[in-house]
Structure 1
């Protein structure tokens, strides 16, 4: 079962560069809505492959160091469904601090007045 991340945790991420926020929506969805600050877009369909990339390839593809298995990694999507699947997938790959921002973009946009 996924650990749930709160809006407050996600809002505080710019103060925690050691934590990761991964948006598993499709790039076309981000064009429509925008994205949460600090998030990395890795669509759910390529998530497993991306999390298995060697560190140097991950960094060149996403512009950020690859998270270690111990880093906190929070997943979000539009409503939380894909994020829950992503969090479970990451856990199955050994990421022990995987979380699901259950409210995802919907909660973020509402609380940010977007």
Structure 2
């Protein structure tokens, strides 16, 4: 189900990480597990769930899986606390971190922006982070971030920036954080930059 302002994790049709897992033996539980795992950066689970949903097995023949047992799976860094405070963001900006504001363009025009941030609305983010570097530079007037570059996302109050963090991590970006207080918190400390 799609909520307003929240892109659905699975777009219709096509292959790749946006493909909906087939309903089968894994059924809805498999899909729910996939959604939760994908939201935490575990995008490689798609192949396993697709295989299990189709009735396949990692052990070579149908139904030959060992008995289930409890295992501890460490959370990827995305699921741990990855937010930054106002002061941390100020310090990171001195180190030339890429700061992406995922608010809509009309919000930037109306309210202003945090200095030295670039605007890539949330609904464009996944596509933007997969662009050819020359296209990214032309469209956003900024060098395309490498998957190992430090990137901080912000929005108005932290909700969309957390989604942006999840999207970027699922695309392989390893050093991503979000400013949980967002523009709302920044404006309490400093005047925003107006266009």
TM-score, shorter chain, exceeding 0.5:
yes
SS for the counterpart of 2:169 is helix
Higher strand share: 1
Unpaired stretches in structure 1, ≥5 consecutive residues: none
* Structure having the larger proportion of residues in helix: 1
**Normalising by structure 2, what TM-score?**
0.55
| Count of aligned pairs | 113
Aligned pairs for 1:1-114 within 5 A: 1=79, 3-17=82-96, 19-112=97-190
TM-score by length of 1: 0.93
Q: Per-residue deviation at 1:113?
A: 5.4
Instruction: Answer 1 or 2: higher relative contact order, Cα 8 Å, separation at least 6.
Output: 1
What SS does the corresponding residue of 2:144 show, helix, strand or coil? Answer: coil
Structure 2 unaligned segments of length 5 or more: list them.
1-78
4+ residue runs over 3 A deviation: none
How many angstroms apart in 2 are the aligned matches of 1:59 and 1:81? Answer: 27
